[in-house]
Amino acid sequence: MIISTSNDIPGRRMVKTLGLVKGNTIRARHIGRDLMALLRHMVGGEVTDYTKMMAESREQALDRMLQEAQKRGGNAVISLRFSTSYIMSGAAEILAYGTAVVVE
């Protein structure tokens, strides 16, 4: 599966547009991670537990979007974007979306 953040894929010809595909996940913080984050906030530096959690969330959302593109018969996704929104205190949604296409 080819993934592109641009509106085309250089060297490939788009033969069919299949439409919007998306994948999301909602993650909540863990009390143990919150305590470690609070300590890290006091001394400064990266909160590696949250960095890891967000990276895993992006990958899961991306995988779900790609599965939807494959189900529709696509072999590429163009105009890939990510969006993050807070659902409630301590929980956030990660959304991956783009346009599924068939390319030669």
Total number of domains constituting the chain: 1
Rg, Å, the chain Cα set:
17
- Domain of 27: which CATH number? 3.30.110.70
Residue span of the structural domain in which 28 resides: 2-103
Measure the CA dihedral 22/62/7/87, to 10°.
60
Residue that is written with structure tokens 């990266």 in the block: 46
Q: CB 2: neighbour CB atoms within 10 A?
A: 12
Determine the Cα–Cα distance for residues 74 and 68; give it in Å rounded to an integer: 9
* Digit-coded pLDDT (tens) for 88-101: 877 889 999 999 99
Residue 65, helix vs strand vs coil: helix
List all residues 6 or more positions away from 20 whose beta carbon is below 8 Å from its beta carbon.
Answer: 97, 98, 99, 100
Mean pLDDT by 10 residues, the chain (104 residues): 96 97 88 61 71 91 98 98 88 95 97
| Greatest Cα pair distance in the chain | 54
Looking at the chain, the whole-number percentage of residues with pLDDT higher than 90 is 66
